[in-house]
Structure formats: structure tokens, C-alpha cells
Amino acid sequence: MRSVVVIRAVVCGAVAAAALTGCGESVDGAAGATTTVRDPDTIEVFNPCRGALSDDALRGAGLDPTTKGVLTDPPSGVSAWRVCDWMPLDNRYGTGTRSVSIFSTSHTLADARTKESATVIGETTVNSRPGLVSKEKSDTDSCYVSFEADQGMFEINVRWLSTEGPRIGDTCDMAAKYAAALEPHLPK
């Protein structure tokens, strides 16, 4: 009986090794060394700029659909980034002149964690999706809440638009609230 268990373990191990050897692309050309290479520049990402988010979804999150600004949205082909922003409808998450951007990208949370120009403030969860909160080192007037997606991730950014006028509220708290409101309308 024991020899049957040992034979099963050896066969299962050999099948698993064969399956792993056939997966992915060889990164260094070494025999048996395979790693799946993920190329963010070949993944088609969700487009928040061209009607993929309904006006009702934007209004429900507290954003004015008529104020859309396009930061990057190539007219055709694959793009690693598609980014648009909107102005708030109201002051539900704080007052002051600010905008809310939705970054749709093929880059991942791992990329965001190791981004040299950013400071990760902490880990978070956006509804049920793992995420993180960060700030660009050169821009303390904004905050990003990033969360997982099959394509890579989504980032919701809240930033102050001017140095004048009241700045009441924390941009990271606001970004977290907008992220939670928008997440159900973004692809898994």
C-alpha cells in the first residue's frame, strides 16, 4: 500500500513538473527555467473616458458627467493607461476645488508598491478588492487609492486644483470614498 502512495506522489510530481515546464515564456533561455512574462503594453484596458461608465454611475458616485476631462485616451489601439477626470457634483466628501480622476491601467498593485516617485501610505480594501493608498512625492495635494483588476488595476485620484479657497477634507479619505462608490461599475 505504501508503494502505491509513493508511486502516485512520483507520478503527480512528474506531471506537475511537465506542466510547469510547458507554461510561460523563457526569460533567460536556461533549460527548464520558465516564467510567464506579463507585458502591460499589450493588454486592452477598460476605457472610463468613452461612455463605459454611465452618467448614472458617475452621478451616483458624486461626479458631474458634464465636466469630463481627458488626460490620456489614445483614439485607437492598445494603451497601458486610459485616464479621465470629473468635478464633483456636491461637497459630500469635503469642500474646496478638486477633481477626481479614474486611472484604468494594465499595471498592477505590485508596480504601484515599487513606484519610486510614490510613497505608499498603507494597504486597504476597496469593497472586496485588495488595494493600497499612496501619494506622489512631488504632489502632496493629491492622493491615490489603487485596487486590483484582472487587467491590472484601477486608481482613483483626488487632487486639489488650486491653492486658493477652502481645503476642507483629506484627499485620501475622499479618494477612498469615491473608489468604493465607483468600484461596482468597474470590471473585475
Q: List the domains of the chain with CATH numbers.
A: 1-37 (no CATH), 40-185 (3.40.1000)
| CA distance linking residue 7 with residue 3, whole number of Å | 6
Torsion angle of the four alpha carbons 41, 46, 50, 51, in this order, in degrees rounded to the nearest 10: 180
| pTM for this model (two decimals) | 0.78
Give the model's confidence band at 39: pLDDT under 50 very low, under 70 low, under 90 confident, else very high. confident
> What pLDDT, in 10s, does the model give residues 142-176?
999 999 999 999 999 999 987 777 788 999 999 99
C-alpha cell at 136: 506622489
Contacts of 81 (CB under 8 A, 6+ apart): 45, 72, 103, 104, 105, 107
- Strand ranges for 39-182 from DSSP E: 63-72, 81-88, 98-105, 118-126, 129-136, 139-149, 152-160
Phi and psi at 164, nearest 5°, equal: -95, 160
For 83-119, how does the pLDDT look when each residue is reduced to its tens digit (9 = 90+)? 999 999 988 888 888 899 999 999 999 999 999 999 9
- CA neighbor of 117 nearest in space, from 140, 136, 134, 103: 136
Residue whose entry in the numeric block shows the C-alpha cell 458627467: 65
Measured in degrees and rounded to the nearest 5, phi and psi for residue 90 equal -150, -170
- The average pLDDT across 10-25 equals 34
Cell of 87: 468635478
* Helix, coil or strand: residue 144: strand
More confident residue, 38 or 85: 85
- Check pLDDT > 50 for residue 4: no
Return mean pLDDT, the chain. 82
Inter-residue contact 109 to 123 (CB < 8 Å): no
What's the pLDDT score for residue 42?
A: 82
3-state secondary structure 78-90: CCCEEEEEEEECC
What is the model's pLDDT at position 37? Answer: 66
Mean of pLDDT values over 52-67: 95
